[in-house]
Structure 1
Amino acid sequence: MTGINNVGQNGLSYIDQLKSLQEANKTEKTTGGKNELKQEDFLSLLTKQLSQQDPFKPVENDQMIAQMASFATVDGIGKMNTQFDSLNSSMTSNQALQASSLVGRDVLVPGAKGLKEADKGMAAMVKLPQAINNLMVRVENEQGQLIRTLDVGAKPAGDTRVEWDGKDDKGNAMPAGRYNIKAAGVLDGENKEFGVSTYANVNSVLLGKGDGNVLLNLAGFASPIKLAEVLEVGKA
């Protein structure tokens, strides 16, 4: 069995001819032609190389086998990529179907700003790194003005749910809109602020832009968030 010569009658090495074929493929892709190199392309190049080889300088058999193995590897990678794309599409569709059940429900998402609906209050979750004796919560409007101060008291380490009834310090009901929840307390002798997450209602579900992400449109949020960012699913 003889192999292929490194240089054909056209003066180009095998690698150069392969690069030439790839460049031609890129051109066809931009002009609406085929958009990928297939195994048939490599076999066509191999056949041409065999017909042009120098019979007095054949390549060793092990080199021929290595080249054929390379063809099989390229084809296998192409098929694997296609399978991964199909799997990704299937998983995204399945996630979207599951996420559709969240429409109309409240979800907990990172961020201290939340939407207060008319005649309702707001709920948030405060993450405490350790137990605290004097957790204080401030409710501010979008302009940063203090609306209400809540003395939550002693709480253990972990997640602590806090609720605001939607009224100011004087008992007046506040209008619907976005409000900011801040939590702080004395920890190790210093006054520190803690991370806060708020609840929001899911309006609709969107598929990502081909990146496999499922997005949620939330009431009061200017842009959607990823389903993966949801920390907790609340009541409907």
Structure 2
Amino acid sequence: MSLVNNVLNTSAQNVQSKSGVSPNSTSSTGSTGNPFLDSISLPEDSGVPEAKSQQLTQDDFFSLLSQQLSMQDPFKPVDNDQMIAQMASFSTVDGIGKLNDEIGNLNSLTTSSQALQASGLVGRKVLIPSDVGYSSSEDPGIKGVISTPAPMQDIKISVEDESGQLIKTFIVDGREGGNIDVSWDGLDKNGVPVKEGNYSFKASGSVDGKAQELAVSTYSHVSSVSLGTASTGAILNLRGMGGIKLADVLAVSET
């Protein structure tokens, strides 16, 4: 038995010396030291494959079309009209996708251009469809426009604060009709300047012998301009009033 063991040990040492692998060592690549086992072992995974796009491209379409033509029944070939219709449909879809991208770029360009134009309104006053105006220490007065359906003798203006408390009332001549300018100096009924804040105009007049509420628009100071989005356009930030779309502005005043 000792002779057999010596022969086996000698054979194993010869194999190890030829392969260059020690009996107690393993290869960093997963080698077992046995040439037969190494030859049938599965290769290691090189990494996670990259995710492929799930969208069909024009190359995919033509590949599918080629497969369709190669697998067609020679006795019932694909009609030329059908093939042309398929190609035309794909071209239409591809064209619509490119058109959408161009429209998106055009919207972005329009928004930027609109914001650039709106920046010229900073420091100016714009007429907005609201009966609320802002009175500040630097500019206590509030101006507005009253829209009348017909000429009337007198128009009664009531100025109220944010809580709805009556601050002052005065009369405006409405005999010209149409849009009547109105201005308040920022003083209450006792001639005392009001505190800084928002104040609303309530206008009423007599139309065909009946009292009627009239629409009022006020001027507000533009402090800054925001870009906004493609759907909203440029946004004008009004002093003490928040933001308003540029498209909602009714008029622009010099002061």
Tell me whether 1:110 sits opposite 2:125 in the alignment: no
Conservation of the 8 A alpha-carbon contact between 1:128 and 1:156:
no
Aligned residue in 1 for 2:66 = 47
**5+ residue gaps in structure 1?**
1-31
Decide whether aligned partners of structure 1 residues 37 and 165 sit closer, same or farther in structure 2, where only a CA change above 3 A counts.
farther
**5+ residue gaps in structure 2?**
1-50
Tell me whether 1:166 sits opposite 2:186 in the alignment: yes
Q: Deviation of residue 40 (structure 1)?
A: 3.4
Conservation of the 8 A alpha-carbon contact between 2:111 and 2:230:
no
C-alpha separation between the residues in 2 aligned to 1:88 and 1:216?
A: 19
Once the two structures are superposed, the pairs formed by residues 50-69 of structure 1 within 5 Å of their partners are 50-69=69-88
Q: Deviation of residue 163 (structure 1)?
A: 0.2
Q: Greater strand share, 1 or 2?
A: 1
Aligned residue in 2 for 1:129 = 149
Deviations 1:184-212 (A, max 9, x none): 10111111111111111112111223436
C-alpha separation between the residues in 1 aligned to 2:54 and 2:106?
A: 21
Aligned residue in 1 for 2:166 = 146
**SS in structure 2 of the partner of residue 220 of structure 1:** coil
Percent identical among aligned pairs is 50
Aligned residue in 2 for 1:97 = 116
Q: Deviation of residue 34 (structure 1)?
A: 4.8
Tell me whether 1:78 sits opposite 2:129 in the alignment: no
Aligned residue in 1 for 2:236 = 216
What amino acid maps onto 1:78 in structure 2?
A: G
Decide whether aligned partners of structure 1 residues 125 and 39 sit closer, same or farther in structure 2, where only a CA change above 3 A counts.
farther
Tell me whether 1:198 sits opposite 2:218 in the alignment: yes
Q: Deviation of residue 49 (structure 1)?
A: 2.4
**SS in structure 2 of the partner of residue 185 of structure 1:** strand
**SS in structure 2 of the partner of residue 155 of structure 1:** coil
Decide whether aligned partners of structure 1 residues 78 and 147 sit closer, same or farther in structure 2, where only a CA change above 3 A counts.
same
Query: If the length of structure 2 is used for normalisation, what is the TM-score?
Result: 0.74
Decide whether aligned partners of structure 1 residues 41 and 229 sit closer, same or farther in structure 2, where only a CA change above 3 A counts.
farther
C-alpha separation between the residues in 1 aligned to 2:56 and 2:235?
A: 34
- Paired residues in the alignment total 204
Decide whether aligned partners of structure 1 residues 217 and 135 sit closer, same or farther in structure 2, where only a CA change above 3 A counts.
same
What amino acid maps onto 1:182 in structure 2?
A: K
**SS in structure 2 of the partner of residue 228 of structure 1:** helix
Query: If the length of structure 1 is used for normalisation, what is the TM-score?
Result: 0.79
Question: Alpha carbon RMSD of aligned pairs, Å?
Answer: 2.0
Q: Structure 1 stretch 80-89 or stretch 180-189: which is displaced more?
A: 80-89
What amino acid maps onto 2:61 in structure 1?
A: F
